[in-house]
Chain A
Amino acid sequence: MAEMTDEELLEAVKRDDPGAFDAFVDRYGRRLMAFGVRMCGHHEDAEDVFQETLLKAYQGLKDLREPKALRTWLYRVAANACRMKRRKEKHSREISLDALKPAGWEDAMTPEIPDWSDLPDDASERAELRSALEQEISQLPPDYRLVLLLRDVEGLSTQETADALQVRVPAVKMRLHRARMALRGQLEAFHAAHATQTGAKPALGGAA
């Protein structure tokens, strides 16, 4: 069943073919669970979210009329499961939008901005940078984290992200942009701290 298209997979599910559930799990399961871990920040909640997602998704697959929208629809189910989980949590932490304003937002005329865009080729250094980024993603407010994960990590288009979250495209763009700018600022701080530790001097972009 590994070679099936999404359309064929859906047909197999609708016919209750033996192995259809396993084929579905093989294709999307781990990715959905990883999405849950990224959204929840820890594995216990992610397991609850993943089970809810898998159950709801598999039960709903038979009624899905557009096979091409399968991936987007699955993330919608997963996003809803994440939201439900969050609502149930009594101690969920919401960060003010002001906390998302990136460093440099208020002083756009900052004379020197370090240019660290030349990412390291060394695998371990790059992994360290990715790890720092993932840590910062986990600190984003949930609605912003959802948009960033769907758009930039999972690779959905802006329209697909809007469809998955059932919000308008401008709202996706606004949240995505703020989230990216916040992460850019955090990575800049990471580079500054790293440069201080190693004594390296990052390239600077001076004002014109």
Chain B
Amino acid sequence: MSENERLKNLSRDERVAFCREVLDNLSDLVEGEAPADFCERVDEILGDCQAFTAYRNTLEATIDLAGECSETESEFSKVDEDAFLRCVERVRGKLNS
């Protein structure tokens, strides 16, 4: 029996342990930083798992959405121009004193 066939026949406890290992390393997986042999195991065991695919896809969507935050205005990114200029002038004053 090959390694992959053995993994495919994991017991439920082993699969749960494997799923937790995958969750622990999901950021590395979606960013392509996980070791190649680990990626192969994930593909073999979870390649046809829709729940895993949904989980991975939604983590990627979360990361993508966070990346958009820097390029868009929101209550957290909106810089109050008056406050900004006030701060700049205070610092300019301290630098010149």
Contacts and interface: CB of A to CB of B under 8 A. Distances in A.
B72 A54 contact: no
A7 interface: no
Which bracket fits the contact residues of B?
Answer: 35 or more
Contacts of B52: 205, 208
Interface in B1-42: 12, 15-16, 19-20, 22-24, 26-28
Contacts, number: 160
Interface of A: 21, 25, 29-30, 33-34, 37-38, 41, 43, 47, 50-51, 54-55, 58-59, 104-105, 108-119, 126-127, 129-131, 133-134, 137-138, 148, 152-155, 173, 176-177, 180-181, 183-184, 187-188, 203-208
A34 B63 contact: no
Given A33-B79, A108-B22, A108-B23, 18 more contacts: A21-B95, A29-B84, A37-B76, A47-B87, A104-B55, A108-B16, A113-B54, A117-B61, A126-B68, A130-B69, A152-B63, A152-B66, A153-B66, A177-B27, A180-B59, A180-B62, A181-B59, A208-B48
Given A108-B23, A119-B61, A184-B58, A33 B51 contact: no
A127 B41 CA distance: 37
Contacts of A110: 51
A115 to B, nearest CB: 4
Contacts of A129: 65
B66 A117 contact: no
